[in-house]
Amino acid sequence: MTSENVSESEAGEPMKAVSATAVDDQLIDELVGRAQAEGLRLTGEGGLLQQLTKRLLESALEGEITDHLGCDKHGPVGDPGPVGR
């Protein structure tokens, strides 16, 4: 995964400069609170941790394959897309 994958939002806009710890703590508190309020388990089969791990790994692997191939997923064959420009 490149630093671009980490520092930009999905929309491609740079993230605002905010303390990473503050964002992490706030986001984690919100996710855990919502999961508990909805009766979702935090661990185990189908739990919040499993879902987060799955999404994180999928995102990282997609970024790695994009970097490796030099083009975006579902992009036209031979078109380098934003990665190769």
Residue ranges of the domains in the chain? 3-72
Q: Give per-residue pLDDT as tens, 28-73.
A: 999 999 999 999 999 999 999 999 999 999 999 999 988 888 887 7
CB 62 within 8 A of CB 73: yes
Quote the CA–CA distance of 40 and 82 in Å, as a whole number.
38
Cβ–Cβ < 8 Å for 43, 54: no
Per-residue DSSP letter, 38: T
pTM of the model: 0.56
Distance, in Å, from the CA atom of 8 to the CA atom of 11, rounded to the nearest integer, reads 8
State how far the Cα of 53 lies from the Cα of 31, in Å rounded to an integer: 13
Residue type, 25: D
